[in-house]
Amino acid sequence: MKFEIETVWESSQGKVYLFCKKSSRPNFTMTDNSKLNGIEIDKYVNDQPRAFDKDGNYRKYLFVFSLKDKNHKDKFIVGEIVTFEP
């Protein structure tokens, strides 16, 4: 399953989050071994971040994944298409 990276953000606590979008609602399950482009991500995913488009409409297909290791942050680039592996 493919996602497009929209934002790569590191929190003040040092956690790295990847805001990713799909054009339609994907059906997937997170596991302890889930990955994006072969890089481990946390099992938790936020599939309802509060985000709106330029016209003020709610964005339905935006997901937030978090990296298990923040040192992999530079392997992800805004606009890049990444592959989700359950």
Report domain extents, the chain: 2-85
Instruction: Assess whether pLDDT exceeds 80 at residue 8.
Output: yes
Q: CA 42, CA 47: separation in Å to the nearest integer?
A: 13
Task: Give the model's pLDDT for residue 74.
Answer: 97
Average pLDDT over residues 5-16: 95
| Tokens coding 46 | 């936020």
Of 62, 78, 49, 76, nearest to 22 by C-alpha is 62
35, 28 Cβ separation under 8 angstroms: no
Of 65, 74, 82, nearest to 4 by C-alpha is 82
Residue with the larger pLDDT of the pair 26 and 9: 9
- Tens-place pLDDT, residues 38-65: 999 998 777 666 778 889 887 778 889 9
Percent of the chain clearing pLDDT 90 (strictly above): 63
Task: Give the model's pLDDT for residue 47.
Answer: 62
Q: CA 86, CA 20: separation in Å to the nearest integer?
A: 16
Q: What is the pTM of this model?
A: 0.84
